[in-house]
Amino acid sequence: MHPSTELTLTTIISSNSSHIMSNVLHDEVVIMDLKNGNYLNLNRIGTAIWDLIKNPIAIHDLIQALLLKYDVEEQACQTHVLEFLNTLILHDLLIIDTKLR
């Protein structure tokens, strides 16, 4: 996955769990990359996103699900979700379905 991949609200994404192990600790997820041994800790909202992207989902639908669950303005949610997804791209933890874009 290339970091310059542009995400849009219609982009279909899912988690790339092919080379990771993840464990839930309280309301947070700890992800270990088996290729390089790096860890990534997800807070409560990151964990909610990780759960929602286990199956392919459009970014717009992901944001709508989060808006139903959390008291947040749509623009702020969209900004933070896109930033988080770009972080997942940098760690090779996100699959972008280019066929369904």
- The model's pLDDT over 27-69, given as tens digits with 9 standing for 90+, comes to 788 999 888 888 889 999 999 999 999 999 999 999 999 999 9
Note the pLDDT of residue 25. 81
pTM to 2 decimal places: 0.86
Which pLDDT band holds residue 4 (cuts at 50, 70, 90)? low
Separation of alpha carbons 38 and 86, rounded Å: 17
Residues above pLDDT 90, as percent of the chain? 61
Which pLDDT band holds residue 84 (cuts at 50, 70, 90)? very high
CA dihedral angle for residue 97, residue 17, residue 79, residue 99, rounded to 10 degrees: 0
